[in-house]
Amino acid sequence: MGPLRSVHGQVKAHFAQALHDAFPSVQQDAAVVKGNPKYGDYQCNNAMTIFKEHGAGLGFKNPMQVAEAIRSALPANDILGEITVAPQGFVTVKVKEEWICREVGQILQGDVEYTDLPRKRVVVDYSSPNIAKEMHVGHLRSTIIGESIRRVLEFCGHEVHGLNHVGDWGTQFGMLIEYMKEAYPNFQEQLPEVHDLQEFYKASKKRFDEDAEFKSRAQLAVVDLQAGGVFATSAWQKICEVSRVAFNRIYRRLDISIEERGESFYNSLIPPLVEELKVRGICKESEGAMCIFTPSVSTIPLMAVKSDGGFGYDSTDLAAVYHRLFVMRADWVIYVTDLGQEQHFHMIFDAARQAGWHSPPLTRCDHMGFGVIQGEDKKKFKTRSGETVKLSDLLDEAVQRASQEIKSRVEEQQKNGGEAFLTDPKEQEDAAEKIGMAAVRYFDMKQNRTTNYVFNWDRMLDAKGNSAVFLFYAYARIRSIQRKSGTDANSIPSTCLELKHPAERDLALKLLQFPEVIEAILADLHLHHLTDYLWELCNTLTGFYMNCKVLGEAAQSSRLLLCEATRKVLLKSFQLLGFTPLDKI
Query: According to CB under 6 A, which one of 201, 335, 357, 421 is a site residue for ligand ARG?
Result: 335
Binding segment for ligand ARG (CB under 6 A), chosen from 11-19, 121-129, 355-363, 404-412, is 121-129
Cβ-closest position to ligand ARG: 128
State how far the Cα of 510 lies from the Cα of 486, in Å rounded to an integer: 26
Query: Is residue 243 near ligand ARG by the rule CB under 6 A?
Result: no
Nearer to ligand ARG, 15 or 345 (CB): 345
User: What's the closest the beta carbon of residue 335 comes to ligand ARG, in angstroms?
Assistant: 6
State how far the Cα of 553 lies from the Cα of 109, in Å rounded to an integer: 24
Query: Is residue 130 near ligand ARG by the rule CB under 6 A?
Result: yes
Identify whether the C-beta of residue 380 lies closer than 8 Å to the C-beta of residue 372.
yes
Query: Is residue 46 near ligand ARG by the rule CB under 6 A?
Result: no
Give the bridge partners for 292, in sequence order. Answer: 302
Query: Is residue 262 near ligand ARG by the rule CB under 6 A?
Result: no
Query: Is residue 467 near ligand ARG by the rule CB under 6 A?
Result: no
Query: Is residue 265 near ligand ARG by the rule CB under 6 A?
Result: no
State how far the Cα of 336 lies from the Cα of 353, in Å rounded to an integer: 20
One symbol per residue from 72 to 111: x for binding ligand ARG (CB under 6 A), - otherwise; what is it? ----------------------------------------
Q: What are phi and psi of 397, to 5 degrees?
A: -65, -40
Query: Is residue 167 near ligand ARG by the rule CB under 6 A?
Result: yes
Binding segment for ligand ARG (CB under 6 A), chosen from 128-136, 189-197, 243-251, 524-532, is 128-136
User: What's the closest the beta carbon of residue 367 comes to ligand ARG, in angstroms?
Assistant: 10
User: What's the closest the beta carbon of residue 292 comes to ligand ARG, in angstroms?
Assistant: 16
User: For residue 352, which of 381, 330, 380, 378 has the smallest C-alpha distance?
Assistant: 330
User: What's the closest the beta carbon of residue 223 comes to ligand ARG, in angstroms?
Assistant: 23
User: What's the closest the beta carbon of residue 242 comes to ligand ARG, in angstroms?
Assistant: 17
State how far the Cα of 203 lies from the Cα of 286, in Å rounded to an integer: 34
User: What's the closest the beta carbon of residue 334 comes to ligand ARG, in angstroms?
Assistant: 11
For residue 262, CA distances in Å to 312, 345, 431 come to 13, 17, 34
Q: Determine the longest span between alpha carbons in the chain, in angstroms.
A: 91
Binding segment for ligand ARG (CB under 6 A), chosen from 123-131, 221-229, 253-261, 303-311, is 123-131
E strand or H helix that includes residue 284: strand 284-286
Nearer to ligand ARG, 128 or 494 (CB): 128
For residue 537, CA distances in Å to 38, 487, 573 come to 18, 24, 11
Identify whether the C-beta of residue 559 lies closer than 8 Å to the C-beta of residue 526.
no
One symbol per residue from 314 to 333: x for binding ligand ARG (CB under 6 A), - otherwise; what is it? ---x--x-------------
User: For residue 80, which of 21, 7, 30, 3 has the smallest C-alpha distance?
Assistant: 7
Binding segment for ligand ARG (CB under 6 A), chosen from 125-133, 298-306, 435-443, 552-560, is 125-133
Query: Is residue 171 near ligand ARG by the rule CB under 6 A?
Result: no
For residue 288, CA distances in Å to 285, 301, 305, 306, 307 come to 6, 13, 9, 8, 5
Query: Is residue 128 near ligand ARG by the rule CB under 6 A?
Result: yes
Query: Is residue 337 near ligand ARG by the rule CB under 6 A?
Result: yes
State how far the Cα of 539 lies from the Cα of 459, in Å rounded to an integer: 17
Amino acid residing at 111: D
Three-state DSSP class for 330? Answer: coil
Residues 131-160 that bind ligand ARG (CB under 6 A): none
Query: Is residue 165 near ligand ARG by the rule CB under 6 A?
Result: yes
Contacts of 199 (CB under 8 A, 6+ apart): none
User: What's the closest the beta carbon of residue 234 comes to ligand ARG, in angstroms?
Assistant: 23
* Contacting residues toward ligand ARG, per CB under 6 A: 125, 128-130, 165, 167, 317, 320, 335, 337
